Amino acid sequence: MPAVLTIATTPYYDQKPGTSGLRKRVPVFRQHNYLENFVQAIFDSIDAPAGATLALGGDGRYYNREAIQIILKMAAANGFGRVLVGAGGILSTPAASCVIRKYATFGGIILSASHNPGGPDGDFGIKYNTANGGPAPEKITESIFECSRQISQYRIIDAPDVALDSIAEHTIGKMAVSVIDPVADYADLMESLFDFSAIRALLAGGFRIKFDAMHAVNGPYAREIFINRLGAPEDSLMNCTPLPDFGNGHPDPNLTYARELVDILYGEHAPDFGAASDGDGDRNMILGRHFFVTPSDSLAILTANAKLVPGYRAGLAGVARSMPTSAAADRVAKELGIPCYETPTGWKFFGNLMDADKVTLCGEESFGTGSSHIREKDGLWAVLFWLNIIAARKQSVEAVTREHWAHFGRNVYSRHDYEAIPTEAANSVMKHLKDSFGSLPGQKLGSYTVDVCDDFSYTDPVDNSVSTGQGIRVIFTDGSRIVFRLSGTGTEGATLRVYLEAYDPDIANHHLDAQVALSELIVIAGQLSELKARTGREQPTVIT
């Protein structure tokens, strides 16, 4: 039996999990004992019973394989009975959530920095998900951080690496390692929710799709679902071979980083439907021919059309959106007579609502949509949901969206990101905004009048936990909004996000480009925040 080693270590003081786990540059993770400390802090916090089962996998980015081997040996030394690990060390974030739930594991560790670039100098990340398949709540992430600050030793087994490339059973010490097919369970779950025969018929009838996996984890999942199970032609896929550095790309499915796909969908002879997903497969972008669907609209449209999808035909318990996400879904919920919840940014806040059966669908403006089928957002799920709607309605993406706006009005929406600005400059913008709260309400700014401004705080209706400081809202009397928030996932300086939303019921304006329709609010946001003067930035880094 290989030896269990107890290794002395000293804390790193920067292991605070952010919006979605701990994310740092690869060289930071490669520091002596850095990963080991954090993994031990997870194990010390979660208090798993001896013999418990853990799910493990990652998005295949640089350092994934090495990290998997270390975690397996540490899990064995910490008394786990079995680890289910995706072959090749791969599990997309939604597939990991699916595996945790399907096999009722105690929890899971997911290695990913989501949409952040990878490679030797790119980002790496690690997060812990609980038995419901969702990201650990703040109570646990705070305890992990505390443990990481006090750590003095970690446990690891002195054993050779496990062969991960084929599906097989292995052991490390007394612990079983089951190398599982990373795709099959997830693909089965998708097939149980959507009308695959209607989608197959749509594709056989000449409806052309293009799916861009951005060289990230969803490639094999897309191949199994679109090609093998739905019969789509091979040229429906692009960038579907996963690479550890994502082909030097930035695997974030939006109009800036998924430019290659956007150009195809806006070009001549464009396919009917385009979609992309991110590094770990939980984000999605939906495009029609020469048409882009904002994630906020997408959530509203999925909600309005859920009855067309077998898995949701019975109706929705409710819908939830993160605070900066537009209120388009609220209008649908109102008409359907179902509750709509507004939560802080980050998927972890949806978990309690889904566990308590208060919501079925949820989404964020940051290209995340999902449902209670798992406890993570789910990129391919959103793509299949759209294809199911199109197969049932026999309309284009654009026609479905325009009909939606005609009925509910349009919540024109855009997010402006200012990335990698000095932390002090970003903090000064936020402080300046907070300092002006008192004088803003009632002020007329151009054609808008300020109604309320606050720093969003949320009381979880299930466990009554309170999360404060979740973003500054300036809400105008007509329901239009500007939200200012600092990112919790960046790894360089601070990222300031400015979210802009204007409601327009008038169909005569629905053809307008969002930046044009929002131009007045954009100017107001600049004035209120003094962003240019305080950060020196003239333009956002990314507009979505």
Residues that bind Zn ion (CB under 5 A): 114, 278, 280, 282-283
Amino acid at 263: D
| Binder of ligand G1P out of 15, 17, 19, 97 (CB under 6 A) | 19
Query: What, of ligand G1P, Zn ion, none, does residue 278 touch, CB below 5 to 8 Å by kind?
Result: Zn ion
Angle between helices 184-193 and 379-393 (to 10 degrees): 30
Is residue 20 close enough to count as binding ligand G1P by CB under 6 A? yes
CB 268, min distance to ligand G1P, A: 34
Q: Which is nearer to ligand G1P, 125 or 271 (CB)?
A: 125
Whether 5 contacts 156, CB under 8 Å: yes
User: Residues 248-287 vs ligand G1P: string with x where CB under 6 A?
Assistant: ----------------------------------------
Taking each continuous run of H as one helix and of E as one strand, the counts in the chain are 18, 27
382 neighbors 274 (Cβ within 8 angstroms): no
- Pair 132, 104: CB distance under 8 Å: no
366 binds, among ligand G1P, Zn ion, none (CB under 5 to 8 A by kind): ligand G1P
Closest CA to 90 of 17, 166, 27: 166
Number of other CB atoms surrounding residue 29 within 10 Å: 22
Q: How far is the CB of 15 from ligand G1P (least distance, A)?
A: 17
Q: How far is the CB of 273 from Zn ion (least distance, A)?
A: 21
Per CB under 6 A, contacts with ligand G1P among 346-365 are 346-347, 364
- As given in the structure block, the two tokens for residue 490 are 């960046």
Based on CB atoms, which residue is closest to ligand G1P, 367 or 385? 367
- Write down the least CB distance from residue 544 to ligand G1P, Å: 10
Under rule CB under 6 A, residue 487 binds ligand G1P: yes
Distance separating alpha carbons of residues 171 and 180, to the nearest angstrom = 14
- Number of residues binding to ligand G1P, judged by CB under 6 A: 14
* Maximum separation of any 2 CA atoms in the chain, in Å: 75
* Residue 288 C-beta-side C-alpha neighbours within 13 Å: 15
Choose one: 290-298, 419-427, 486-494, 520-528; the region binding ligand G1P (CB under 6 A).
486-494
Please report the sign of the dihedral spanned by the C-alpha atoms of residue 387, residue 388, residue 391, residue 394.
negative
Stretch that binds ligand G1P, among 245-253, 335-343, 434-442, 483-491 (CB under 6 A): 483-491
Between CA 515 and CA 502 the distance in angstroms is: 11
280 binds, among Zn ion, ligand G1P, none (CB under 5 to 8 A by kind): Zn ion
The answer to whether 41 and 72 are in contact (CB under 8 A) is: no
The residue among 278 and 378 lying less far from Zn ion, judged by its C-beta, is 278
- CB of 253 or CB of 271, closer to ligand G1P: 253
Burial 364-400 (b: 16+ CB within 10 A, else e): bbbbbbbbbbbbbbbbbbbbbbbbbbbbbeeebbbeb
Minimum gap (Å) between residue 419 Cβ and ligand G1P: 10
**Could you say which of ligand G1P, Zn ion, none residue 223 binds, taking C-beta under 5 to 8 angstroms by partner kind?**
none
Q: How far is the CB of 116 from Zn ion (least distance, A)?
A: 9
114 touches ligand G1P by CB under 6 A: yes
Q: Is 114 a catalytic residue?
A: yes
Q: Which amino acid is at 264?
A: I
* Interface with ligand G1P, residue 369, by CB under 6 A: no
From the list ligand G1P, Zn ion, none, partner contacted by residue 135 (C-beta under 5 to 8 A by kind):
none
Nearest to 159 by CA among 273, 83, 49: 83
Closer residue to ligand G1P (CB): 41 or 494: 494
Q: How far is the CB of 279 from Zn ion (least distance, A)?
A: 6
Of 114 and 325, CB closest to Zn ion: 114
Q: Which does 488 bind (CB under 5 to 8 A by kind): ligand G1P, Zn ion, none?
A: ligand G1P
Conformational region of residue 420, where left means phi above 0, alpha means psi within -120 to 50, and beta covers everything else: left
Cβ proximity of 286 and 260 under 8 Å: no
Smallest distance from the beta carbon of 402 to ligand G1P, in angstroms? 26
Residue of 20, 97, 112, 114 with catalytic role: 114
425 to 43, 394, 435, 499, 537: CA distances (angstroms): 37, 50, 15, 19, 10
Residues 6+ apart with CB under 8 A from 189: 98, 102, 373, 374
Q: Is 343 in the site for ligand G1P (CB under 6 A)?
A: no
Q: 262 phi and psi, to 5 degrees?
A: -60, -45
Q: Are residues 190 and 95 in contact, defined by beta-carbon separation less than 8 angstroms? A: no
Residues of span 189-218 touching ligand G1P by CB under 6 A:
none
Q: Which residues are catalytic?
A: 114
Give the interface with ligand G1P as residue ranges (CB under 6 A).
19-20, 114, 322, 345-347, 364, 366, 368, 487-489, 497
